[in-house]
Amino acid sequence: MLLNITTTHQPASVLGFMLHKHPDKLQTVKLSIGKAHVFYPESSEEKTTVSLLLDIDPIDMVRGGRNLSGKGFALGQYVNDRPYVASSFMSVALSKAFSTAMNGKCSHDPNLVDVEMPFEVSLTSLPAPKGGELLIRNMFEPLGYEVELERYTLDEKFTEWGDSKYFTLNLKHTLKLKDLLSHLYVLIPALDNDKHYYVSNNEVEKLLDKGKEWLKDHPEKEQITKRYLFNLSHLSRKALEQLRDEDVEENEVEENVKKETLHTQRLKLVLEKLLASGAKNVIDLGCGEGKLIRMLIKEKQLEKIVGMDVSYQDLTKCKERLHWEEMAPKQKDRIDLFQGALTYQDDRLAGFDAATIVEVIEHMDESRLQSFERVVFEFAKPKTVFLTTPNGEYNVLYESMEENTMRHTDHRFEWTRAEFETWANKVAETYNYTVSFLPIGEEDSKVGAPSQMAIFNHGN
């Protein structure tokens, strides 16, 4: 498999300095099962081309039970395309041969790192199973590349067999060298949809390290992430969550961006009022993936922080987001997470200064609310309860929402301000609490704010 990178930037000879590979020398990089050769077919002030040629040993691929021939059929270790196609072998070779340039470093002239240059790229034998030409274009064209493709037939003597899954790819673009290399590093194995080595959490880190700056805005980020990570759902979820954590919801529709901003406002207001209450310990009921808990652990005022959710999967994500395994023992002693339901009495919920219930009750059937009320206000009986829920009146301002629909398919109800206040006042009266109300988000003069909060304080 052969990769050619050409530039006509003036002077074009700077490509050798940027790649830290001398144009007059054949240089070889050792791989786990072969070699990668770097050489320059052409090098002048007007035009310079660098080539990366992989020489993979097909015998070494399966020697000693290693079987690096990839996924496929039962005879894959005897008959496979791995030594001859652009795959994760090429990605590894890129990182080994051009690691300095890929990391955005140039000792000869650091200013060259940020210079956008015209590049032409040629890559032979690129596989694109389950997608073909459209898949290749959908991955490269949104990044600004001109794409030309030549597809190989299965056999020139038997044209009726049709086309193969292999292409020669030609790209043109003006961009930084480090960006070009990172695009190739991620997209080549994503197109191939295979890996010659075990895919673990380390691959998530590699993907984010090489692709975070551009992948977050890519319209095919989910497909790229899944294919790069060998379609392993738990790793794909982890990578996509970390991309979203960088506030990259820009490709979603406008009202979803507003809701994300609203949720940030909501959490900040809950945190502000919680700290003002003087609480030393708090339980987040329906903590989900832990967005509020991540804010709570930064506050020294809070000595004990507990999260409960009915979803084991969400609790697992919460631990991942908190970096639970790497957390310092002292910090870990301060936090507790457990699975539970808000409609069943649970002694673990009792004894807290404060409880937060953020956008939870609307996911319950209204017939279950009485059980919820007793669990929280009669048995757990926190000193202060901070409870938020959407304001159904505000829905008319969301242009994309149809009439008589809700913001989320899992919502069982979305109360008006009057309905919420009626319910909250009744709860307060029944269980010896006082209650006050606050709007959350920008208020409209007619329909109020998009969300609403009730603050319950125990004792009249």
User: CA gyration radius for the chain?
Assistant: 29
Q: Are 112 and 14 in contact (CB under 8 A)?
A: yes
What is the DSSP code (8-state) at residue 216?
T
Question: Residue 40 falls within a domain, yes or no?
Answer: yes
Question: Residue 247 falls within a domain, yes or no?
Answer: no
Q: Are 54 and 89 in contact (CB under 8 A)?
A: yes
CATH of the domain at 391: 3.40.50.150
Q: List, in sequence order, every beta strand (DSSP E) within 181-303.
A: 281-285
- Residue after which a domain boundary falls, among 197, 212, 230: 197
Question: Residue 221 falls within a domain, yes or no?
Answer: no
Q: Are residues 14 and 160 in the same domain?
A: yes
- Residue after which a domain boundary falls, among 171, 197, 223: 197
Residue 78 has pLDDT above 80, yes or no: no
Region 63-79: mean pLDDT is 48
Task: Say which residue the tokens 């919680």 belong to.
Answer: 274
Domain, as residue range, for 337: 254-458
Other Cβ atoms within 10 Å of 145 Cβ, number = 21
Angle, helix 201-215 to helix 177-192, in steps of 10 degrees: 130
Region 297-323: mean pLDDT is 91
Please, where are the H alpha helices in 103-155?
A: 132-140
**More confident position, 268 or 131:** 268
Q: Are residues 156 and 10 in the same domain?
A: yes
Please state the domain count of the chain.
Answer: 2
Q: Are 168 and 122 in contact (CB under 8 A)?
A: yes
SS3 (DSSP) at 456? strand
Residue 128 has pLDDT above 70, yes or no: yes
Instruction: Read off the tokens for 8.
Output: 């006509």
Question: In the prediction, which pLDDT does 254 show?
Answer: 42
Q: Are residues 180 and 258 in the same domain?
A: no
List, for residues 329-359, the tens digit of each pLDDT value. Answer: 899 999 999 999 999 999 999 999 999 999 9
Residue 204 has pLDDT above 60, yes or no: yes
Question: In the prediction, which pLDDT does 193 show?
Answer: 60
Question: In the prediction, which pLDDT does 164 show?
Answer: 83
Question: Residue 245 falls within a domain, yes or no?
Answer: no
* Nearest-5° Cα angle at 330, 324 to 336: 55
Mean pLDDT of the chain: 86
Give the per-residue SS3 of 397-424.
HCCCCCCCCCCCCCCCCCCCHHHHHHHH
Interatomic CA distance for residues 200 and 235, integer angstroms: 8
CATH of the domain at 144: 3.30.1610.20
Residue 282: pLDDT band (50, 70, 90) is very high
Residue 425 has pLDDT above 60, yes or no: yes
List, for residues 212-238, the tens digit of each pLDDT value. Answer: 889 988 999 988 988 888 767 777 777
pTM: 0.52
Q: Are residues 286 and 435 in the same domain?
A: yes
